[in-house]
Structure 1
Amino acid sequence: MIYRFRVILDNTTEDDVFRDLEIRESDTMEDLHNIITQSFGFDGMEMASFYISDEQWNQGEEIAMMDMSEAGAEVKMMSTTIISDVVHEAATRLIYLYDFMNMWTFYVELGEIIEEAQGTDYPNLMYVHGQIPDEAPEKTFEAEENDDDNEFEEFEDGLDLDDYSDLDFDENWN
């Protein structure tokens, strides 16, 4: 079977930039990484990771390009993870981060699953929309507004952390 993905650049300030791709369900996540980087004009030499995502695009389990984990911590690797083991009808979304220094962020969504077409080479770039900017879009993180923020005091108990005289320990204990 063939998976059709739409890969959208997280680009809130410019025009939409996306690519529609086809790839075999039996290919690896590394194959998907390669067609994404090629379709957006990257050389593919920077660090990258996929993250399994839910319907609200919350970042979940990582599928890494290289194993940078500490001993004992297992991480799925792109080169050994089959696409259909991660993406299917019940789990259709991934977040893809490319170049951790610049943080190119893409939303990858499975659009449909079709039969393989005779004479078509896969992976296949089906459609290109928009030009990728010269630099990764800047991320702006906005905190949720909270009416109680103005009333917040760091230490509501009135303690002066620089005054040790009222504390029950010897300041020079060691």
Structure 2
Amino acid sequence: MALEATTTLNYPVDQVAAVFADEAFQRHVSELVGGKLESFAIDGEVAGAFTATVVRQVPTGRLPEIAKKFVGESLKVTQVEAWTAPEADGSRQADITVKVAGAPVDVAAVQRLTADGSTTRIELTGKVSSSVPLLGGKIADAAEPMVGKALNLEATQAEAWLAGEIV
């Protein structure tokens, strides 16, 4: 199933990227959905190419009942973002993978931060897949809206974070 989203933030790319690489921000996003940040690590310097690994425990309350029977009350979600160094205009890109422990769902996405003066256009494209024979398409279809909302939530919360509306 395809993921696609675009939004614009009224902040430059370097500030937006720094927020995505901020442990306090990632904790905020995790708690906003009723989850918990289990671990957060940055490999490399945020001013250049770096990799962020975010491990969250998220509640399964919004999943269909049949899915909750298999996965329980929460899921462990590992999100790895491999960020490129900034281009000449400041734009940069992250290859994102999301693995859900105990659930046959994988996400592969690309998030592009495009500099447009003092604003940043965030474009997200990707795919949700499932390795379950015969039912994989249905599982991916059911997971896609939730994954899309989660990735979009980060972008919308980043603007509020930069505006100082969240502490």
TM-score, scaled to structure 2: 0.30
In our comparison, the structure showing a higher alpha carbon Rg is 1
| Higher helix fraction (1 or 2) | 2
Q: TM-score, normalised by structure 1?
A: 0.29
